[in-house]
Every structure is written in C-alpha cells, then in structure tokens.
Amino acid sequence: MSIEFSKKLAAHETPIPGVVVYDLPVHGDNRGWFKENWQREKMVALGLPDFRPVQNNISFNEKAGTTRGIHAEPWDKYISVATGRIFGAWVDLREGPTFGTVFTTELDASQAIFIPRGVGNAFQTLEDNTAYTYLVNDHWSADAQGQYTFLNLSDETAGIQWPIPLEQAELSEKDKAHPRLSEVVPMPPKKTLVLGANGQLGKALRKQYEGDSSVEFAGRSEFDVTSAEAFSARNWKNYSTVINAAAYTAVDAAETPEGRAAAWANNVTAVSRLARTAVEHDLTLVHISSDYVFDGSRNLHTEGESFTPLGVYGQTKAAGDAIVNTVPRHYIVRTSWVIGDGNNFVRTMATLAARGIKPSVVNDQVGRLSFTADIAAGIDHLLQTGAPYGTYNLTNDGAPQSWADVAADVYELVGGHREDVTGVSTEEYFRGKAAAPRPLNSVLDLSKIQRTGFKPANSLSRMAEYLG
C-alpha cells in the first residue's frame, strides 16, 4: 500500500452537512509509519465537533471486495483506515432537505472522515487485510439497535458506483435485505426537552415551537425536577438540548421556612441534577436566570458582574447559575420583570384600571419588562445560530422605567388616566408587610445578545400588543 506521507492536517467539506473528510499527517521511514489518528485538541481547533467518543471499534476484512452497509446509527462516528484501502459511501438518512444526498470517496491510512448521527455508512475494501476503525460517542445497546436506519447497498436512487460490482463482492445476507430509499423511514433529530412547560415562559416556548415535533414539553406532572426518579426514568440519549423553564419564583414566600426549602429544592438541588445530566450526556442546557442575583446597586448590570443577592430567592438563583456555568454547553438567559400568559403585574394593573381603582405603585425600583414571547424567541435564536455558550441578558428594550411608570403606561393603553397611578417608595409600600428585599435597579445590559443578531422588541410596543 502506498501512503502519502507528511500531509498537513486539513478538513474538506462534503455535500452532506456535517460529513467532513480529514487529511492526517502520516510520518514514515524504513521501519513503517506513524500517525495521530485522533488528536482532540488539534481536531477541535480545525472544526471537528468535540463529540466525546466512548468506544473504539475495528472491522478487519480479509479479502478485497468485502462490502458492509448501509447503516445509520444513532450516534456520531469518526472513521479511519488502520491498514489497507477502502471505497466509502455515505448517504444522508436524516429527516430534512438533504435526505438521500450521497458522498463517496476512497480512504487510506492518511485520511479520516467524521459521520454525524443518522448518516448511512458503508464501505468496500479495495485491498486484502484491510482494517477499518471507528470511534463512536455512545455505547452499543439492544435499545439503540432499534433506532438504526438502513439502506440497500444497491439502491437505484443512491446510484453508488461500487468499484467491485456487488454481485462479485462479499455481502452479508442481512445487508442484502435492507430497504430501498423510498421505503426508508428517515432518522429523526435528537429532541429538545422543555421543562416547566406550563408556566408563563413554558407557554411561550410552546407557542415558539408549535408544530415542531423535535421539541417535547413537560410540565411538573410529566417531569418533576425535584424528583431524582424523574431523571433516572428518562432516556437522555434521545435528547440534545434541555430548556429549564422550571423554577420556584415566589420571592416573598421564599423568606419563610417552607418557602426557603422549596426554593433551594427547585432552584439549586434540581439544577444540580440537570447540570450533571447535561455533562454526562453532552446536552446543551438552557437555564433562566434573574435580576435578583444582584443587589441593584449598579445602574447597569452586565453578564460578568459578581453575584450580590439580597434575599433567599436571589441566593438560590445565583447558586443555580454557578452550577450551570460548569456545564460545557450552556446558555444562562438572565431576565427581569417577566410578563406572559398568567397572573402578572401588567394584567393586574389592567384589571385595576377597568375597575376604576387608583393604586399606589413603587416608583424607586427601576428596570425593563421581559415579555415571554421575546424570551422564547431569544432562546431559539441562541440555539439556532450556535451563539457562543455563556450568559446572556435578555429583556425587552427601551428606556428603563419604574413599576409606577409601567402601571401608568398600562392605564393609558387601556383607556384610563396616567394620573390615577401614585408613586410610592419601596420602603413605604412594604411597611408592616413581610417581604423579601428587592434590587432597586434591575436594568440589564443587552449589548451582548444584540451582538449575536438578536434585537429585543421595545417594551412599550410589546405591551400595547399584549394588552390588545
């Protein structure tokens, strides 16, 4: 076998999305040759997904003409030739517009190829004593075998030009019986799981992903984040992303003994289980944060500001953020003053206006509203664009306001009078009441998420739409 020595490590795209051929540097002398078949740091720097292989398999083939495939497994593969030479054929068997796309090439020991989950893999040996090796990022199991997708090697639609005609090649009876492309059920993508799907943000995420069969929704009755059994009962191999919209948000009740326990159970212990699950199964974890992780002493809060929570709720949210930050693939979406489908400040003010009530509203807490439709759209934007992992502030845009300003806007939009709203300090409003401490300034800097191309809607215009 003739191998080209001293190639530079290089990547070559193919017609199948995600399938990439790599040239590997092979160093040889009179004794033989040596190569770095898999070198994580260099490969990832070149653009290969950090797909975390867990198993190394070798297929030894005694005779030229041995042909195997076409098999699409529910995991990613990094394939190379240890010795000999092969003709490889790959067919996209994933759901989507590239279903049926074919790529073929010859590989020797100086090349490798990355094959994403759901792309059918086949090869034909061109030399005797060929060893075909591959790294995979999941362990084989009987359950996984039921998720395989197959295509017949002689499928007319794929039209693969095998160097050695199949009638002269060595095939298994099982491979001969695989279906034609018209009969293949495409492999669906891994799913996104939305937890807390019945809350205000959960409902907005339901609307954002309406009709998308790859997104699964679970309320507390379907998945209780405080239950260890809920985590162990789920087959996480079927998922790529978890959006955690579940949280304990009763700010004042969190200051009570019962509320403190519930806040820590939901916002910290449950989040630690989610983070461990994400690390173990290489999931992307999207987690919702809060302005309450800050004490409100700054005029503008950036993503890198140190935590300074004032009350129990803020302390639990800060602890949850710190945990999620250890997950390699994570988005922490920090928001404030959330308004969605359910009981909230804007609905309450609209109801009071309709009843002719003239309320006293806090005027020394300043921030921006965050409508759940925009939070959901921002989450989808981060995931779809593959924005760098990390923390992103996400509220609606516009001039910062006090709660009294927001209430006055609501009154005006529903036909009332701004003057019906009277401003009052936080201290005066909560005098004699059991209440958690609140940050006086909750304005979040939006420049980071805006740099990714996401432009949150103006708060006042969104409120007008919300109130109809």
Q: What is the pLDDT of residue 146?
A: 64
pTM, entire model: 0.88
Summary mean pLDDT of the chain: 94
- pLDDT band per the 50, 70, 90 thresholds, residue 144: low
Q: Looking at the predicted structure, is the pLDDT value of residue 236 above 80?
A: yes
Instruction: Encode pLDDT of 50-90 as tens digits.
Output: 898 999 999 999 999 999 999 999 999 999 999 999 999 99
The proportion of the chain whose per-residue pLDDT surpasses 90, expressed as a percent, equals 91
Predicted confidence (pLDDT) at residue 241 exceeds the cutoff of 70: yes
> Of residues 78, 134, 331, 466, which has the active-site annotation?
134
**Strand 366-367 versus strand 401-402 pairing type:** antiparallel
Residue matched to tokens 């809920």: 230
Q: How far out from the chain centre does Cα 304 lie?
A: 22
The confidence score (pLDDT) of residue 29 equals: 78
Paired tokens of 395 = 């509220």
Position 434 scores a pLDDT of 87
Sign of CA dihedral 302, 365, 290, 340: negative
Query: What's the sign of the alpha-carbon dihedral 208, 210, 215, 218?
Result: positive
Q: How far apart are CA 364 and CA 404, in angstroms?
A: 8
Asked whether residue 259 carries a pLDDT value surpassing 60, the answer given is yes
Question: Does position 142 have pLDDT exceeding 70, yes or no?
Answer: no
Q: Which of 71, 281, 381, 389 is catalytic?
A: 71
Reported as a pLDDT band with limits 50, 70 and 90, residue 145 is: low
Most distant CA pair in the chain: distance in Å? 95
**pLDDT score, position 143:** 65
Confidence of residue 285 (pLDDT cuts 50, 70, 90): very high
Segment 358-390, tens digit of pLDDT: 999 999 999 999 999 999 999 999 999 999 999
Rg (CA), the chain: 28
Supply φ then ψ for residue 284, to 5 degrees.
-85, 125
Cross-strand bridge partners of residue 170: 66
CA distance 279 to 349: 43
**Three-class HEC string of the chain:** CCCCCCCCCEEEECCCCCCEEEECCEEEECCEEEECCCCHHHHHHHCCCCCCCCEEEEEEECCCCEEEEEEECCCCEEEEEEECCEEEEEEECECCCCCCCEEEEEECCCEEEEECCCEEEEEEECCCCEEEEEEECCCCCHHHHCCCEECCCCCCCCCCCCCCCHHHCECCHHHHCCCCHHHCCCECCCEEEEECCCCHHHHHHHHHCCCCCCEEEECCCCCCCCCHHHHHCCCHHHEEEEEECCCCCCCCHHHCHHHHHHHHHHHHHHHHHHHHHHHHCCCEEEEEEEHHHCCCCCCCECCCCCCCCCCHHHHHHHHHHHHHCCCCCEEEEEECCEECCCCCHHHHHHHHHHCCCCCEEECCCEECCEEHHHHHHHHHHHHHHCCCCEEEECCCECCCEEHHHHHHHHHHHCCCCHHHCEEECHHHHCCCCCCCCCCCECCECCHHHHHCCCCCCEHHHHHHHHHC
For residues 8 and 75, what is the distance between their CA atoms, to the nearest angstrom?
28
What's the Cα-to-Cα distance from 398 to each of 69, 186, 401, 455, 464, rounded to whole Å?
A: 57, 45, 9, 11, 14
Determine whether 330 is an active site residue: no
Q: What is the tens place of the pLDDT at every residue in 411-430? A: 999 999 999 999 999 999 99
How far is Cα 94 from Cα 53, in angstroms, rounded to an integer?
21
pLDDT of 68 reads 96
pLDDT at 359: 96
- Cα–Cα distance for residue pair 355/280, rounded to 1 Å: 54
Domains contained in the chain, CATH given: 10-183 (2.60.120.10), 191-467 (3.40.50.720)
Exposed / middle / buried, residue 356 (Cβ in 10 Å: 0-12, 13-18, 19+): exposed
pLDDT digits (tens, 9 = 90+) for 161-219: 999 999 999 999 999 999 999 999 999 999 999 999 999 999 999 999 999 999 999 99
Whole-number percent of the chain with pLDDT over 70: 98
Taking a C-beta distance cutoff of 8 angstroms, is the pair 1, 85 a contact? Answer: yes
Q: Is 27 a known active-site residue?
A: no
CA distances from 453 to 71, 141, 336 (A): 39, 42, 21
Mean pLDDT of 16-28: 93
Q: Which of 368, 374, 345 is nearest to 207 (CA)?
A: 374
Tell me what pLDDT residue 147 has.
79
